[in-house]
Amino acid sequence: MVGLVLLIGTGLAWQSRLAKTESLTVEQLRNWPDARQFESVDDFEALAALPEWIESQGGPPVPAGWDPAWMRRPARGWPSRNTIAVTAFRVPLAQRDSVSGLLLAVPINDVDQVPTAHHATGARPRYSRSGRFSTTAWTDNASGTVFVCLVAPGQFERLRRALVPRPV
């Protein structure tokens, strides 16, 4: 009887610990590369060290208005979270210039208090804790994804201008 009570208690404690770690905050997502020792958004060695992301549904979600050709393959996975894709991107600008960064695609259900912005151009940039990354986060309800974009400091405005639709 004591063994059964101990087993049930252990199971409940383990389950409650899992429930507490299920949701991530936007702040955790913004500061994640700092903890993973990313030196920059072009730190391909740190990116390659991430686990493989299994593309069970044809690839990670791409934000509305983003060209899938901007995404560099293969997508990598968040450590211990196979639902989160981490992809490097390069958005071309005029005159052979571009903005590089990292894009995290996180299922809405994995995020506590999703961002209110609905596109990168409407998201308010913030620096990561280390100051090595300018970050933005927005929610795409159509795809059920929270996107977190990380670029080098001072590059968000250039990215935002590149993403604003131009009249034809």
What per-residue confidence (pLDDT) applies to 5?
Answer: 35
Which DSSP string do the residues of 146-166 spell out, in sequence order? EEEEEE-TT-HHHHHHHHSPP
d(CA 29, CA 60): 17
Cα separation values, 58 from 55, 74, 90, Å: 6, 12, 20
Domain boundaries defined on the chain: 24-163
Tens digit of each residue's pLDDT (9 = 90 or more) over 66-114: 999 999 878 999 887 888 999 999 999 888 899 999 999 999 999 999 9
More confident residue, 88 or 58: 88
Helix (H, G, I), strand (E, B) or coil at 77: strand
Residue 19 has pLDDT above 70, yes or no: no
Q: Kindly give, in sequence order, each residue whose CB lies less than 8 Å from that of residue 108, ignoring residues fewer than 6 positions away.
A: 114, 139, 141, 144, 145, 146
